[in-house]
Amino acid sequence: MNSKIISVIIFISFLLSSCGADKVHYVNIETEFGTMKAELYNSTPLHRDNFLKLTREGFYNDLLFHRIIQGFMVQGGDPQSKGAAPGARLGSGGPGYQLDAEIGAPHFKGTLAAARTGGPSNPEKRSSGSQFYVVHGSKQTDQSLDGIQGMKNLTYNESQREKYKTLGGAPSLDQDYTVFGELIEGFDVLDKLAAVQKDGSDRPLQDVKMKVTLAN
């Protein structure tokens, strides 16, 4: 094989790899209330690829949204929630591994973020291998955002401030958890999920199952 052909093959391989890196990946999160469609961020490749892997394996199908706090978030992805008895305490299960943190994106309403163990046992803020939450949040004010900035030593630009004030979110979580995607459809479904009745542990009284599939 001559050098020109080899050069062409290398160039084509480079183009293909570049296109793959820029490809946008979507997932559908189906519930009894409807479907939420989310885009996964290429800026968080570890979390993106892990979520896609688990989705392809059907890992999330029939798991529960086991923790819901209206005005804050809806959380699921614990494999122990599948077929769990009513009232069982959930939230400690996972696939047996964690992910390195890819912290950066803000917690606007509708963003997908990875749950994690808090406290001194996890100083690197590593993420659960499977548990995630969708931010429900609430609309912010300049005063509340100023308080978060001072407490966390960060700065919101004007676009981020406007989005927090008009769409809402949970800025108190910024810089502590990895946000790896966002809803592009189904905000009404998120609102319905957030409004379900729950017990004292924030588990819905009636099981809310999910099915996660790849989307175009």
Establish if 18 belongs to a structural domain.
no
Establish if 12 belongs to a structural domain.
no
Among the residue ranges 21-25, 46-50, 177-181, the one predicted with the least confidence is: 21-25
Which residues face 132 on adjacent strands? 76, 114
Strands of 32-156, DSSP E: 34-40, 65-69, 73-76, 98-99, 111-114, 127-128, 132-135
**CATH code of the domain containing 162:** 2.40.100.10
| pTM of the predicted model as reported, rounded to 2 decimal places | 0.90
DSSP calls for 79-112: GGGTTPPTT-------SS-EE-----S--BTTEE
Write out pLDDT tens, residues 136-168: 999 999 999 999 999 999 999 999 999 999 999
Establish if 10 belongs to a structural domain.
no
Domain count, the chain: 1
Residue 117 belongs to what domain range? Answer: 24-215
Q: For 121-125, what is the mean pLDDT?
A: 96
Establish if 13 belongs to a structural domain.
no
Average pLDDT, the chain: 92
Q: What pLDDT was estimated at residue 21? A: 60
Q: What percent of the chain has pLDDT over 70?
A: 90
